[in-house]
Structure formats: structure tokens, C-alpha cells
Structure 1
Amino acid sequence: MIATEQRNQPKEQRRGRPRSEAVERLIADTVVKLLEEGAPLADLSIERIARTAGVGKATIYRRWKGKEELFLDVLKAVEPTDPELPGTSVRDDLIAMLEALRQRGLAKRSSALLHNVFAQMQNYPKLWAAYHDTVVEGRRRTGLAVVRRGMDEGVIRSDLDAELVNDLFVGPVLLRAVLRPDGPLEEDLAEHVVDAVLKGLAPSRPAGQPG
């Protein structure tokens, strides 16, 4: 019955959603194209983006409240995606989390677009705050959940502050990925960091108990 109803619907009604997604991709691709051509964020007005994409400004405003929200979606689209954590162990999840951070660091080194956008974002407090609240904060919550699970499972000392422990894992990779542009980002960096920190934060065992 549903299939029959869909066949009887006008073509435009049936395909409205895919066409909407195509327009969104067109607008996002237009922003990426302009940035790749060297246009600074300050020059990317909604009017210019709409004109270049061949759509009306209202088409953009129906999807995004303003250019900060549009830029945020574009940035999330061009960044490497966050992987789904394997869930096999606390160690495996921490390694997957830090490996994603390492990959983002490599991407920002190799992509002129990402490097350029992140450099400019510091001058746009609203855009940076939105990125932090929706992207960075989400990653931090994921890390904290893994750390707390490690504490519950006895892998990490439970008397420590979870925020601090999360920083101890993330800090070394973040330092090399962001603060040291020439810092090495070896393939096994995530594994080495996780194993070193886990060893240092392992709960102490009573004397005579095997390790």
C-alpha cells in the first residue's frame, strides 16, 4: 500500500528530501571552493555564497541561521570523522580516541584548507565557541566516559579526578598535533601514550598480590 501511494505521489513531492540534501551539499561545496581559492572568512557573506552557488539567500537561511552555523557544518564535514569506539576494552577505546586525534593533526598539516580555516577561527569568537561547544566538548565527554569506565573496571585509579586523567591521555597527542607543528606523529603514538599513562595510573596492589 505504501509503495502504491508513493508511486501515485507527484514526482516533486516524493523527491523533495533528496533535492534538499543536494542543495545543502551544493552550498557547503561552494563554501569549501571559495576557501580553497583563498577567500578569507570575513569576505564570505551569505550573499556571496548564495550568488556563487546559484541559489537565493533565503535558501541558505532556511537551513542555517547565519554564516557561523554554516561554517561550522562545513568544518565538521571536511575534518576527519570521529570513529565509533570499538568498546572491546578501555585500552582499545583510548587508543581509538587518540588515534583519531593524531589523524586530525596529520590532516591539518597536509590540508591547506583546514590549516587556513583553523588559523582564522581564532579571530571569530562566536564560530570558535560554537565549534568548541558542539565538537570539542563532545569529544571531551566521550573521553571522560571511557576514563570513568576504566575507574569502574579497576584499570585506572578511582581516587583521581577524571578530568585530569583525561587530560593526561589527550595532552601528549594534542601537544604534538597543535602546539608543535613539527612534532612527530608516529603511527604507534596513540598506543604508546595509552600504555604509558595506563601503567602509571594503574591501581596499586596489596603486597604479595601478583601483578
Structure 2
Amino acid sequence: MQATLDLLAEGNTTIEALSIEAIAARAGVGKATIYRRWPGKAALLLDALRTLKGVVPQPTGHSVRDDLVLLVGAVGHNIDSRAAKIMPCLVPEVNRSPDHFQLYQNIIEPRRQVMREVLRRGVESGELRADLDIEVAMAMLTGPMLIQRMLHWHPELDDRILPERIVDGVLEGIRAR
């Protein structure tokens, strides 16, 4: 997995052009070693790219707001410094290839599911509007954080407090009245 991430971070190859041969050579192993652990490149890429994100944050369940701040704070945050070079390069790949789109979806869906559960809990408890469109609420919560972290869209925004500001702003519109 490390060899895969190293090759992608170097920027000399795309996901499409990345080969098991190149990964094996970088790792100093034979192709058979890789195939014993992963059935193919897609499975290896999925595992390697998941490591960039780390584990899915686990909300405490005490407060919808606090749980959303935790989850929004994790958007675009990667535990591996290579992610800053790899993730922006994935966007065109995801848009061009149905296989890469599915790979991306497999990586982020567990994170989306956790946020869905927090929002549903808020609806069920009466904290959030009964007619809340959960998917749109998730887009409103994650979009600003993602654009700030990936593109540094507004250099004066403080990433340390931005999750709270985003959540508080969105909650104003989705709270039960």
C-alpha cells in the first residue's frame, strides 16, 4: 500500500496508468506477493486510499451539533501528508472513469453514512426539521469544508474553527421551528 501511495504522490503516473508491476517494483516484491493479498489493482487502490483518510470519526451521540462539528472537521482532513498531492489528482480520474467513481464512493460512503445517522437522530429527536432533506443537508455541511481544505478557497478562514462556523450556520436553517 505504501508503494502505491508513494507512486501516486510523486505525480508521475495516473491511477489508470499505475500498474501492479510498478507497485511491486517499488515495494521490492514480486507481483505474486501483491496478488496473494489483493485480487487486483482496484482492491489495492481502495485499501491504500482508505489509509489516507484514517478511521471514520465516531460521534458520541450526546449532541447533534457536537457530532456534526466532529464529522465536518474530518472532511478533507487526511492523516497522511501524501494525500495533499494524491486527492486533488483523483478528482479528474473520478469524473472520467466509472470504475474510479465507484472507488471514490466506496471510500467516502462509510463517512456519509455516519453523518446520515446523526442527522436522522436529530430529526427523530425533534432537534431538526421533520422535512429535512438529509442528502442536501450533508452537501451543505461538507461542501464548504471540502472546498476550503482542498483549494484553500478563502485564505483568511481559520480551519480550526471553520467546522463550528459551518455547522452553526447550517443548523440555523435546518433546526426544528
TM-score, length basis structure 2: 0.80
- Equivalenced residue count is 172
RMSD: 2.6
Q: Distance in 1 between matches of 2:42 and 2:116?
A: 28
Match of 2:134 in 1: 162
Return the alpha-carbon distance in structure 1 between the equivalents of residues 118 and 176 of structure 2: 16
Q: Could you tell me how far 1:158 is from its partner in structure 2?
A: 0.9
Structure 1: distance between partners of 2:154 and 2:67: 24
Amino-acid identity (%): 37
8 Å Cα contact 1:80-1:103 kept in structure 2: no
Deviation for aligned residue 1:70: 1.0
The correspondence for 1:182, drawn from 149, 153, 157, is: 153
Q: 1:29 to 1:122 in 2, by over 3 A?
A: same
If asked which structure has higher relative contact order (CA below 8 Å, sep 6+), I would say: 2
Pair 92,63 (structure 1): closer, same or farther in 2 beyond 3 Å: same
Normalising by structure 1, what TM-score?
0.69
- Residue type at the aligned position of 2:153: D
Residue aligning to 1:62? 36
Per the alignment, residue 127 of structure 1 pairs with 100
Pair 1:173 & 2:173 matched: no
TM-fit CA distance, 1:123: 4.0
Residue 37 of structure 2 aligns to a residue whose secondary structure is coil
Give the Cα separation in 1 of the matches to 2:76 and 2:25.
Answer: 37
**Which among 124, 133, 148 is matched to residue 120 of structure 2?**
148
Contact 1:91 1:194 in 2 (8 A): yes
How big is the shift at 1:150? 0.5
Change (3 A) 1:87 1:58: same
Question: Where in structure 2 are there 5+ consecutive unaligned residues?
Answer: none
Could you list the runs of 5+ residues in structure 1 that have no partner in the other structure? Answer: 1-27, 205-211
Q: CA deviation at 1:181?
A: 4.1
Q: CA deviation at 1:102?
A: 4.8
